[in-house]
Structure 1
Amino acid sequence: MEIQVSEEIISKVPNFKLGVIEYQDITVGDSPQMVKGRLQLFQESIYFDLENKNLIELPGIKEWRTIFKMFSKDPNRYRHSAEALYRRVQKQNYLTTVQSAIDINNFFSLQYQVPIGIYDSDKLEGPITIEKAKTGDEYVGLNGRMNSLENLIVSCDQHGPFGSPFVDSNRAPVTQTTKNAMQIIYLQPSIAMNSAERLTDSLMKMFTQIHGGDANYYIAGHD
């Protein structure tokens, strides 16, 4: 499914870019011990690194807070998902393993300090657009609450918004029955294109190493 980024977003953030990965015929299950161990050790390492640092000054966290401000969304009330993960780690409320797809998502989100969404492609109906949510837009999120989306950057299909760097909806989550998936990496706009491609390719390769299947990626939003 091709993703189109709205002109409104590009005009506000000229270097806006997404890493988009499409997976086919994957097998989602419990994470291998290697992934569980790396996720735990990485969180412990981040916790100690944060002891003498201001979390909101970390480059990826800071850049996405700035983007939220540009769209008139208070980043102190609406924390992007990577910052939310970091705040959990800072409190030693470490992420526990969920299942392989979610664990890999969380690991890379922590590693690169950027929001990442993953969705069951068979529950979406293209075309997919990335746009600024309108007044009244809302959905039930994976946090179990009805979330107001107004002014947030959202991913939409023919049925409306289903994802955001704030919190994803409960409409197309990846589960252990998922066979086809789409992953959206909300890259730092400041990242160079070759670095964006390397990061996206690295995530795709680790994901397919664990889940099998076929995959391809592209960078959306930035010409």
Structure 2
Amino acid sequence: MRFIVSDGVRTLVPGFTHLAIEARGLVNGPSDDASSALLDDAARRLAERLDGRTPDQDPHIAAWRAAYTAFGAKPSRTRNSAEALARRALADGGLPRINRLVDAYNAISVAHLIPAGGEDLDRIQGDMRLIRAVGDEPFTTTAGGEQTVEHPETGEIVWCDDEGVTCRRWNWRQGPRTRIDDATENAIFLLESLAPMTVDALVAAGAELAESLERLSPGARITVHSPV
């Protein structure tokens, strides 16, 4: 499976870089003390990094806000995933506990202020592509407890595979079809960066996520792919 970034996205947001981590033979399950500790440490590191500032005042989050504006999204209403998680980390109640693998990449997102996500490899159809939507691509989601199909806006940046959209507005909302759950054994994790975040900083975040996955799921086969 490949991650393919379209020319349309590269032209609109030329500073985009991503790093993928492939993990096979994982053992997932409900959040536990180990994954909760990752989230607590990430919240502490975030508070130290911001030093009283709000997440949108961080240069990397500001770059993501500008990217969202470039494709027509309102960044204060549909926040990129890193900003949304950071705000939750700083609020009363803190970060949600989802499951061990999701906790691991959420912790990296918060600690490094970088959008991070994961997909179940066994549910992805073909390659993953980052494109500007035509507007007729299907996005299967749930509303009111019922499955429904939505469509992105024309020009919206979305991740998709051969079956349809997997994440709307770049990294704003993931669909349930490829989401990592307690039964996931094989997964792909994606870290996304924009200038001014450096490639070295992106690689460091990827290495930390790989280390967390190895600790949470001993024996898993972890492959960190070079940034693209």
TM-score category of the 2 structures, normalised to the smaller one: 0.7 to 0.9
Cα deviation, residue 13, structure 1: 2.1
Equivalent position of 1:21 in the other structure: 21
- Report the 3-state secondary structure (helix = DSSP H, G, I; strand = E; otherwise coil) of the residue aligned with 1:131: strand
Contact 2:119 2:189 in 1 (8 A): yes
CA distance in 1, matches of 2:78, 2:96: 23
Listed as ranges, the gaps of 5+ residues in structure 2 are none
Q: TM-score, normalised by structure 2?
A: 0.84
Q: What is the rounded CA distance, in whole Å, between the counterparts of 1:204 and 1:181 in structure 2?
A: 12
- Map 1:179-218 → 2, pairs under 5 A: 179-212=185-218, 213-218=220-225
1:47 and 1:92 in contact (8 A); partners too: no
> Corresponding residue for 2:162?
158
- Asked whether the 8 Å contact 1:142–1:167 carries over to 2, the reply is no
Aligned to 2:128: 128
Q: Where does the alignment leave 5 or more consecutive residues of structure 1 unmatched?
A: none
1:90 counterpart residue number = 90
Mean Cα deviation higher: 88-97 or 20-29:
88-97
Distance 1:2 1:13 in 2: 20
Does the Cα contact within 8 Å between 1:64 and 1:114 map onto a contact in 2?
no
RMSD of equivalent CA atoms: 2.6
In 2 relative to 1, CA 80–205 (structure 1 residues): closer, same or farther, beyond 3 Å? same
- The 3 A distance-change label for structure 1 pair 109 and 142 is farther
Correspondence 1:110 to 2:116: no
Q: Deviations along 1:125-167, whole A, 9 cap, x unmatched?
A: 1122111223244524589787653243222111111124111
The one of 124, 149, 152 aligned to 1:149? 152
Deviation at 1:44, TM superposition (A): 5.3
- Number of aligned residues: 221
Structure 2 CA distance, aligned partners of 1:116 and 1:195?
14
Equivalent residue number for residue 8 of structure 1: 8
